[in-house]
Structure 1
Amino acid sequence: MKKIALMTAAMLACAAACSSGETGGAGQGGRSPGTVEITMWHGQEDTSADSVEKLVAEFNRTHPTIKVTTDSGGVTADAMLPKVTTALAADTYPDIAYMYGSWSANIARSPKAVDLTSYVKDPKVGWDDFWPNTRATVTVRDKVIGFPAVVDDLAVLYNRKLLAKAGLKEPSKDWTWDDFRAMARSMTDPATKTYGTTWAVSGGEETTWGLWPLLWQNGGQILAPGDKKAAFNSPAGVQALTVLQQMAVVDKSVYVDSSPAEKGQKLFESGRLGLMLAGPWVLPDLQKAKVDFGIAVLPGTGGDHQTISGPDNWVVLDRGEDRVKASVEFLAWLTAPEQQMVWMKDTGSLPTRKSITALPGYKDFVAKYPGIQVVTDNLVNAKQVRPASTKYPRVSAYVAEAIAAVLIGRKDPKSALDEAAVKSDAVLAVPGQ
């Protein structure tokens, strides 16, 4: 799973303030007459990096008036916000940066984040073709700061061999969290160190985002209207966290994963984990490991199988009007259905646009990644997005601490969430979003 880096208060404040550099700075050297050069920090690794480089090379070949130079930014995508924040202060920032959607409010505060609202109205962009939640994630208070880069959602991956060994049927489309708990309990075997499921407690968004669907399914919200007070410690939130507590503390069916190295996934790959909340990003790894697995939507509450999606963005930063226009032209091309199909086949990512599913190559994509259609169809269950607040990463960190304390048996759900709410309210009360 993509891990969201925890940000310090200084970094979050700097994201808004670092905007004094003049346009036309880094990346101007070696510019060919008549060619606009732009720089993109993609933060991708391995197969994803190779796919980005391939697509950029094709764009450069077919668009002689624009030259795109790619770079990882010297960091992975997890650390892109602090990297860009520092670069804004030093006037060494790129034209385009890959940014997690939960950072949208932070980067939008900087005047160097270009408002693309007028650009995306161009029919050639096909803005309405993007899934609604991706458009919502890249829009902060009516300011469009980039293009959707990736969309995913949480589903449940299950090990077919462990299910069969426990005498269980595969999850049905209307299964519940009670069913999930019972399955996890049945597949747990301390003698072989086999677990029913896993939960990351390494901190931040990796820990919290799996809790939000349970909260939403129970009718709760992360923050109160206006984003000035916590709401996750409502009875709905307590009920959601209690589900995890009962599994981890009472049933002992949860592998509590404290390592950012994602040992839970390694357990799944080795056949010692029955159920795992994950998404399309793990499918290539599971195929390489030759795991016999299936995919189901999240368990439901009262028939609601709401999930959470983690859209990421290509954010455009102001390096002058010509470079902004070149960046928009490049991103409109990169996110067009034909190029997205190349990216999807290479990486197993979901379609960012509805029209992609109608392309001839989509059937080949589905065939290459068995079960991916379930995850794509699950996008309709991604009905809500996380708060567009600069304070959200810190709120997420406080909730992550609460979840970890509950799963290791140190605190009960209500007191843990109440403590997190007090800390969150103090941060949310500070002026500025």
Structure 2
Amino acid sequence: MQPEVVDQYDVVIVGGGLVGASLVVALAPLNLRVALIEASTPPQTGPSWDERCIAINDGSHRIFESLGVWPALLSEASPITSTHISERGRFGVARFAAVDVGLPALGYNIPFRHIGQTLWQAAQKTAARLICPARLQAMEQSADAVQLLLDSGEKISTRLVVAADGAQSAVRKLLGITAQTQDYKQSAIVTAIRVTRPHGGVAYERFTPGGPIAVLPKPDNACSLVWTVPSDHVEAMLAWSDAEFLKQAYETFGERLGNFKEIGRRNAYPLTQVMSAQLTAPRVIFAGNAAQSLHPVAAQGFNLGLRDVATVADVLATAADPGSAETLAEYERRRSDDRERVSGFTDRLVRTFSNRVPGLRGLRHLGLLALDLTPPLKDAVMRQNLGLGGLPSKFARE
């Protein structure tokens, strides 16, 4: 015997990570019945100097301001006042500075923990029902609703499902929707370092044949370090002593920040691009990593997902039926170009700067010089990196 439907909602969000929790907060001002399904209770860990961070751009900063969570996030945010992009062994450099566009910062480097805790606390203050811990077991679509069965046996009904449940989306799999996966055969080793020269708010991205090494500002002369390397090198690199790892990272990065004198915990993450074959399905929207999971080069992934959130909220603000075909088509229309542009941009960066074809290094060198010296090209890339490339949202007005 099927469990009875006990609750009905306008919107059910599957996945309570950064994107899902952001959407709960974004929908709070609307007259909608909202529920969130999240499998894991958010951990209540405290801060540490070497914790993992996420770089958000100015567009994301504006969205967080509109959501009312920016004052809380700012307490642990390190401003990125400029970026410095180079290639190991070449002189070509591209520089971008906040002062050039009249901003206090191009973006901010913020602990993942702090963003998650801040958004979850904000979500708990809304009228939304947070069903946690709970897992989605089955879905059944009809013309005017979606029935969701949870692992507790509870069955709920909603007019719209927003899948924000990550690159291996359970919603996508339950619906039989495919995803294109590109395995870069690279992994990101993520840690933190202390440096002997003040970083001055500069974020560095240095391309090497094995992959980029990124160094981003943290408080107290500490920096986030994201070192992309061939996956078959990871095991050996994680086995290095701290001194050996610091030595190799310093030699790869260079002298701009002085010596690397202390290192935190190291974790490795395999890198793939996962693109859902569809942005929508009947009465379903995909957002964040459930729609597209990108290589971390240029730190575009979460910022793109937050623009998904802003667009969902924008579209639902005027929708008579949250899950209607017209609502889904409008979301897809507003997100498709931004999604394709950013995913293509990150993919080309990885392929171009990891390619060892003879003669290509010289072209990359000239490309970095041209980027730094050609104002229209530099402005276009700056706009993209600030997160202003998509259709405008009321959550991120220019």
> Which structure has greater helix proportion?
1
Q: Same-fold call, TM > 0.5?
A: no
Relative contact order, CA 8 A, sep 6+: which one is greater?
1
Identify the structure with the greater strand proportion: 2
TM-score (norm 2): 0.30
Q: What TM-score do the two structures reach when normalised by structure 1?
A: 0.28
